[in-house]
């Protein structure tokens, strides 16, 4: 076996992991060494700070380019794991919010008199709704009120006009798709679509001013985030999306209040250890618990990590303590499952586990699984396919493929933005652009290098496009 212990070995992967320092003894030093090794593995897998920042920067620039070219009244904002820099290009769906800019939703008591006359105003009516949800009552018809919005307006028994969330989504989703677009069934507020390997979750939303909610959040005593991040989150608007509370009889007309851009800032302010906890817990949910109907989601895990960060001193979250805090995260997840309670980080009165659809059998099974994982200590990562594969791989091979993957991904991101920059007024890109062609040439070189190495290692995959897509998944 090679020094460092990453070669395949007939003694099995447990032996490999023991040699590499990731093993479940009770010595604090051994756990700390295992934590440091695990942080290295997470960096190799593409979760290190530099690649995360590069991905975040790309999507911010991409949003700016697309919004500048489409001069309508809709602004696109990328959210979720892509905006957080935590997934490769084709690894998961892209979450995009489409915000109608000539509509504004205001907390009750705000006038909106300073907004342009073309802006349609709604008041948030939260009185009869579950925490974090609302009705949108029409406050002022803007001069630019468009037909789709008008068609979704309904009147209540008191003659007040409100915006029906179900009707609004149905009307907008009835438009004719493009020739290469495939539309999928609605999922909550999202309208999923795909074009080839590109999958997008489209969420229609309106900007929302709700200063009292944000101020209440900002005034909490906390260890995290830092005061400047708190003020930045407060300065960012909230959004309402067309989805009601699952347990409400008025679900079809309700809207949900969220803080997507603020939450992007919060994830960006987590340190690397906290990010790795977030990523590993998401893997636990996806690969081990395997929810069928989104009883537990990545969003559940995100809020759990936010609370973990807020309630503990930041200097304790070091790379030597990764497994300690991972176990703490598992404890919090176990508590959320056993009690069916987890407060939404921005609006604690909203219980994210309420009406999650989890049955008693799932609850017992998942709590038992988490208990087993915690008993295994650092060896629990063996149950996560992505991490297991990295641990038992030869370090030279892992590093070589990892470097090619990172370079290819960054080149693809640059290529996508360069294509937007090279577009003419007719929407067609100038493919003779020298920078674009240099990027495309290097992309082709990388894919061919990977194919040659795969052939030398005995792989039967040799189709360039298939290799390209696999690398970026």
Nearest to 118 by CA among 100, 136, 99: 100
Instruction: Give the count of alpha carbons within 13 A of 170, CB side only.
Output: 10
Name the pTM for this structure: 0.88
Give the model's confidence band at 75: pLDDT under 50 very low, under 70 low, under 90 confident, else very high: very high
Close Cβ partners of 135 (under 8 Å, ≥ 6 residues apart): 124, 125, 126, 128, 129, 162, 250, 253, 254, 255
pLDDT on residue 92: 80
Give the model's confidence band at 338: pLDDT under 50 very low, under 70 low, under 90 confident, else very high: very high
- Highest mean predicted confidence (pLDDT) among 29-43, 103-117, 180-194, 299-313: 299-313
User: What is the DSSP-derived secondary structure letter of residue 168?
Assistant: H
Nearest to 405 by CA among 49, 95, 42, 51: 51
pLDDT at 11 over 50: no
Give the model's confidence band at 265: pLDDT under 50 very low, under 70 low, under 90 confident, else very high: very high
Per residue in 418-450, pLDDT (tens digit) is 888 887 766 677 778 888 899 889 988 888 888
Give the model's confidence band at 10: pLDDT under 50 very low, under 70 low, under 90 confident, else very high: very low
Find out whether 144 and 150 touch, Cβ atoms under 8 Å. Answer: no
- On the 0-12 / 13-18 / 19+ scale of CB atoms within 10 A, 249 is exposed
Count of other CB atoms within 10 angstroms of residue 225: 20
Nearest to 406 by CA among 45, 42, 40: 45
Close Cβ partners of 463 (under 8 Å, ≥ 6 residues apart): none
pLDDT at 2 over 60: no
* Cα-based distances in Å from 430 to 166, 424, 426, 437, 438: 41, 7, 11, 10, 14
pLDDT at 52 over 90: yes
pLDDT at 245 over 60: yes
Please give the mean pLDDT across all residues of the chain.
86
Q: What is the mean pLDDT of residues 203-218?
A: 94
CATH number for the domain whose boundaries are 17-47+270-387: 1.10.1410.40
* Cα-based distances in Å from 273 to 69, 117, 183, 311: 38, 48, 38, 15
Give the model's confidence band at 174: pLDDT under 50 very low, under 70 low, under 90 confident, else very high: low
Give the model's confidence band at 452: pLDDT under 50 very low, under 70 low, under 90 confident, else very high: confident
Find out whether 128 and 135 touch, Cβ atoms under 8 Å. Answer: yes
Find out whether 349 and 132 touch, Cβ atoms under 8 Å. Answer: yes
Please state which CATH class domain 51-171+181-258 belongs to. alpha beta
Per residue in 373-413, pLDDT (tens digit) is 999 988 899 999 999 888 877 677 777 887 888 888 888 88
Provide the token pair at 149.
């919005």
Looking at the chain, the whole-number percentage of residues with pLDDT higher than 70 is: 92
Q: How many helices (H) and strands (E) does the chain have?
A: 17, 11
Torsion 243-248-252-255 (CA) sign: negative
């Amino acid at each position: 076996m090679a020094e460092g212990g990453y070669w395949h070995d007939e003694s099995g992967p447990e032996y490999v992991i023991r040699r590499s320092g990731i093993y479940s003894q009770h010595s604090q030093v051994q756990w700390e060494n295992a934590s440091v090794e695990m942080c290295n593995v997470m960096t190799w897998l593409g979760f290190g700070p530099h690649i995360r920042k590069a991905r975040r920067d790309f999507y911010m620039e991409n949003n700016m380019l697309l919004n500048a070219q489409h001069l309508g009244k809709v602004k696109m904002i990328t959210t979720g794991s892509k905006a957080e820099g935590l997934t490769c290009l084709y690894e998961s769906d892209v979450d995009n919010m489409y915000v109608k800019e000539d509509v504004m939703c205001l907390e009750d008591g705000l006038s909106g008199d300073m907004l342009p006359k073309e802006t349609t105003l709604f008041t948030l009516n939260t009185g009869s709704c579950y925490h974090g949800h609302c009705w949108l009552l029409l406050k002022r018809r803007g001069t630019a009120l468009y037909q789709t919005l008008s068609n979704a307006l309904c009147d209540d028994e008191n003659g007040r006009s409100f915006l029906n969330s179900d009707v609004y989504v149905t009307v907008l989703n009835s438009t004719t798709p493009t020739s290469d677009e495939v539309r999928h069934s609605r999922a909550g507020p999202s309208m999923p679509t795909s074009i080839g390997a590109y999958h997008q979750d489209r969420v229609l939303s309106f900007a929302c001013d709700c200063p009292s909610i944000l101020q209440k959040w900002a005034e909490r005593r906390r260890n995290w985030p830092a005061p400047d991040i708190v003020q930045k989150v407060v300065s960012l608007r909230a959004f309402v999306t067309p989805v009601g509370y699952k347990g409400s009889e008025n679900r079809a007309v309700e809207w949900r209040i969220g803080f997507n851009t603020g939450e992007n800032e919060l994830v960006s302010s987590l340190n690397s250890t906290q990010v790795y906890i977030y990523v590993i817990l998401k893997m636990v949910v996806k690969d081990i618990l395997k929810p069928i109907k989104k009883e537990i989601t990545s969003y559940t895990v995100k809020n759990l990590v936010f609370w973990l960060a807020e309630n503990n001193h930041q200097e304790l979250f070091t790379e030597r303590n990764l497994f300690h805090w991972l176990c703490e995260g598992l404890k919090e997840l176990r508590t959320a499952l056993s009690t069916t309670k987890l407060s939404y980080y921005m609006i604690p009165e909203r219980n994210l586990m309420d009406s999650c659809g989890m049955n008693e059998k799932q609850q017992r099974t998942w709590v038992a699984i988490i208990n087993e994982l915690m008993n295994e200590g650092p060896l629990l990562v063996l149950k996560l396919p992505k991490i297991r594969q990295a641990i038992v791989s030869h370090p030279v091979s892992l590093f070589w493929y990892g470097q090619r993957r990172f370079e290819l991904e960054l080149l693809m991101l640059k290529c996508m933005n360069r294509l937007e920059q090279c577009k003419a007024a007719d929407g067609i890109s100038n493919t003779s652009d020298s920078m674009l062609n240099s990027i495309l040439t290097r992309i082709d070189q990388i894919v061919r290098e990977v194919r040659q190495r795969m052939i030398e290692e005995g792989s039967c995959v040799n189709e360039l496009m298939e290799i390209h897509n696999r690398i970026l998944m």
